[in-house]
Chain A
Amino acid sequence: MHEPVKFHFNVDGENFSSAGEASVMVKKKLRQLGFPPDVMRRVSIAMYEGEINMVIHADGGSADVTVEDEYIEIVLADKGPGIPNIDLAMQEGYSTARDNIRALGFGAGMGLPNMKKYTDYMHIDTEVGVGTTITMRVNI
């Protein structure tokens, strides 16, 4: 038996422009570990979207990635405003992103739907005023 490989990142909420760095790092590590392109792509998309959401909607948070035997798990936790209506937030095109954020290319309302689409498991645990934790798994 071997210990699962783990990565931990603090995601800075101040800096929109460098957002995505944790995802780029994870992709590099997965490549070094020899994962197939399809797995890397799905993990990258899901983690990038979640990471960006923490930056633009929740003032940052943390990202933990664990490589288990059968799947890669990504846990994104923030102490932001929470998501009042998950069903609404999950709809393609729904976004509360403000204009200054939209000007950067965000706000299509496709982040959460992408996370769902590219992972095999996704769970959102959220409480208004407390924060949001999203757990996703991509099967290996």
Chain B
Amino acid sequence: MSVNAWLKSQRPLAGTALILTVWLNTANGLLAVAQAWVLAVILDAVIFKSAGLADVQPWLWALLALFGARALIVWFAERSAFEAAASVRATLRDRLHRHLQRLGPSYLSGQRSGALVETLTKGIDDLEGYYARFLPAMTLVMILPLAILTAVMPMDWLAGLVLLFTAPLIPLFMILIGSGAEVRNQRQWKQLARMSAHFLDVIQGLTTLKLFGASRREVAVIARVSDDYRHSTMQVLRVAFLSSAVLEFFASVGIAIVAVLIGFRLYGLAVPVPTWIPIPDVTYLQGFFVLMLAPEFYAPLRNLGTQYHARMGAVAAAEQLIQVLDTQPTQINPGTEPLAATRPLGVRFESVRFSYEPGREALDGLSFEIPPGQRLALVGTSGAGKTTVVNLLLGFLVPTEGRLLIGEQALADIDLEDWRRHLAWVPQQPRLFQGTIADNIRLGRPEADLDAVRKAAQRARAAEFIDALPLGYDSPVGERGAGLSGGQIQRIALARAFLRDAPLVVLDEATANLDPESERLVQEGIDELARDRTLLVIAHRLATVRRADRILVLDRGRIVEQGTHTELAQAGGLYARMIAAHGPRAHRSED
């Protein structure tokens, strides 16, 4: 579907407000005709029929009524135009964000979040011009000029013909001038997205820039990016200004010709047209009326010209929207079955292959089982595929080949939302969200009371530092936990997992960033958590995996070894070498 067709197809979202806008503007245009007529009558009476104030009084009152009516209509038209666009914007923003959620983290990892943020905020706002201005203008341009022409023709068909023939010139020149404009609009939008993505990246990495003494250098980059945006904006605007100047010029020429033709005839001069054309006579009343209608005739055309640029802005923004909305989730037919297995859950990987791009296998036919209630540890060098295993299990990635079974049910058949209700996960770099510490712990169980939150925090060994904060659990946390140390964030994320009370728990380096003492305490908490639950633990530090029922050693997407700590330590394979590499640390925790 073309961008244009797509934009049009979203029209129903605007509801009746759009139709109302067109009707109100039509009514306003027709009342303008009436107003011109009344005014012409008054002037004609006073100037040529020596009428006094008393004679024209009824007309003056009529004029006042028209003024009032038009003012009301203008107000309502403006409101309904905005409301039409408002409901489209609100609906589309919601839809776009939800679609991003369906596409999931694997899609987002290939995107610049700053650009997506721009699409979701300014991009959606830019649609306003299309629905509030362009669409009504498009309809009105087909109604109002015709209506005015109908009023002008019986008065003076010569002037009517002038209007009729000059009118098409306007869209014609507009198209000629605007032909390169779409590309420029596209470019402008891309510059804007780039600028925003860059700013977000710089803001989030400002401390790093400072560490490298690069934050001042960045001034030049900011200046360049901002200036590029100015250039592309001005390119767009220059076309917009030029085309409205051309519109204005043609409208002026049209009005001038009408004025001359009427003036000449009123004065009694020969009109410079071939003599075989029977020139109609015109009275002052008719002439003045037509002259006042001429600008009204061109107004919808000029307006369309102006709004054409609003349309192009919307098209450029819509292109980004469509790009996202047209992307299909990797799992095209998401599962719908509720999860059948009861706690504790068992998980099985059957010859699972996965590649992020063709030819580069991240997982190469992986088969293993996590029996219900057991604790499985995954170890291996970085890049071995551990995180990929987790992402498959969480449903963020779909296997290229092979399948995952939960109990006896294929994960692909299960409703992912229901599946995730049974999961708790502590990622490598947990993120905290705007809100209080309690809100953050409650992420997976918003209805939990403070007691439950406290209990979870205690088990994650987070209670101590939280209680020490002046506001305790109500302390606001910044983005990425600004104000908290890495270990503290880690423990809040753990508390989150504890509170979730899920039958399957995935811990990805859950005890990294903790000092040995905290690690030992948290480990106790995890042991407690492991009771009656299935656990998948990923760790670099072997101390944290030795308590696992079974250890899987992963290398380049394959399982190279599996067994218990003691078995593997004696097997003399990769695991044994990893223990050796650990040296004193591994021994220390053996105590």
Q: Do A and B bind each other?
A: no
